């Protein structure tokens, strides 16, 4: 499963090119079975992924 997140300024909603900072902060914060964050083409987006889900639970 994949989910893409746009990174925006909390006040203005303007896109923020801070994907590398977000990825650096999340690098070791999640166990492997919880999935991972990855960079996207734009520096204003990150993607989260999980492993293959074999059930709906």
Total domains present in the chain: 1
Is 56 contained in some domain? no
Find, among 55, 36, 43, the residue nearest to 7 by Cα.
Answer: 43
DSSP character string of 1-53:
-EEEEE-B-TTT--B---HHHHHHHHTTSS-GGG-EEEE-SSTTEEEEE----
Cβ partners under 8 Å of residue 17, min gap 6: 7, 42, 43, 44
Mean pLDDT across 5-9: 96
The reply to whether the predicted model has a pTM over 0.75 is no
The model's pLDDT over 9-51, given as tens digits with 9 standing for 90+, comes to 999 999 999 999 999 988 776 666 667 888 888 999 999 888 7
Report if residue 33 sits inside a domain: yes
Residue at 43 is within a domain: yes
Within a domain: residue 54? no
Instruction: Specify if 57 maps to a domain.
Output: no
Q: Residue 9's domain spans which residues? A: 2-49
């Amino acid at each position: 499963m994949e989910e893409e997140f746009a990174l925006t300024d909390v006040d203005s909603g303007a896109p923020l090119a801070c994907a590398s900072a977000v990825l650096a902060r999340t690098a070791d914060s999640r166990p492997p079975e919880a999935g991972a964050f990855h960079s996207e083409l734009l520096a204003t987006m990150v993607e989260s992924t999980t492993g293959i889900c074999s059930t709906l639970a």
